[in-house]
Copies of this chain bind each other. A is one copy, B any other.
Amino acid sequence: MTYCVGMMINRGLVFMSDTRTNAGLDNISTFRKMKVWDRPGERMLTLLSAGNLATTQAVVSELEERMKAPEEREPSLLAVPSMYQAARLVATTLKDVIDRHARAGQEADSAFRATILLGGQIEGGPPRLFLIYPEGNFIEAGEDTPYFQIGEMKYGRPILVRAYDPALSFEEAMKLLLVSFDSTIRANLTVGAPFDYHLYEADSLTAGRQGRIELDDPYFRKLTDGWSDALKQALEQLPPYDLDAAPGA
């Protein structure tokens, strides 16, 4: 499994992904699921992927091969004129890879499926964020739905729903995402640290701050403990159910 989030805030785009992949619970490894490309001053693209690792690695490899030989194999992500075209290109590549793997093997294409988040900005347009389905179609984040999750999204969703705010700073967005990731790794063994992040500053058209948070990162450990206490306190603040005033008394 996997857990990735892409989020639009006023400051720009925030991406975070876990690094655990597994083929069975007894066969886990660490792989980076975030890919960042940029041409400083012109464009920045970040891709997060969930699903079959062979599929997502093939998609990234094909996208990168096209970048290296732009004259032969147009278009490439470094040449398309808009984020919409970039999303179309990734979507087509994803669908092609899945179709090819499914035809080659005996299995239904469900085994080869993957889902991709693509966010970025290309000169002349605003920052945009897309969720790309294995069927080769996609949706775009907007004001009503300013973030996307892929993979094991349920455990970490309630805190995002409650606490997301477009005015978040990068530091606050990191905190929110780390709480969401922490809730997820506590419940699902197939999502695991370290977590990769990328903070893209709107209109910078250049890759922003990137890094990796390990499980023993001092801030993450403090956050984990602090969040348990804070949650308990938050719950304590609220009045207990009044059984005397309740229906069914």
A interface residues (Cβ-Cβ under 8 A, vs B): 154-159, 161-163, 169-172, 174-176, 178-179, 183, 186-187, 197, 199, 209-214, 217, 219, 222-223, 226-228, 230-235, 237-243, 245-249
Report copies per complex. 2
Where chain A touches its partner, the secondary structure class is helix
Of the candidates A213, A246, A247, the one having the most CB atoms from chain B within 10 angstroms of its own CB is A246
Knowing A175-B238, A241-B175 are in contact, say whether A186-B169 is a contact too (CB < 8 A): no
- Which residues of chain B come closer than 8 Å to A232, judged between CB atoms? 162-163
A162 to B242, CA, bound (A): 23
Q: Are B209 and A238 in contact (CB under 8 A)?
A: no
A227 to B239, CA, bound (A): 11
A224 to B74, CA, bound (A): 52
Pick 5 A–B contacts, CB within 8 A, sort by A. Answer: A155-B158, A158-B187, A161-B187, A162-B232, A172-B240
- Which residues of chain B come closer than 8 Å to A237, judged between CB atoms? 226, 230
Distance from A1 Cβ to chain B, minimum over Cβ atoms (Å): 12
- Contacts A171-B241, A175-B240, A230-B234 known; 15 new A-B pairs at CB < 8 A: A154-B187, A155-B157, A155-B158, A158-B158, A163-B231, A170-B241, A211-B247, A214-B247, A219-B242, A219-B245, A223-B238, A226-B238, A227-B238, A230-B238, A234-B234
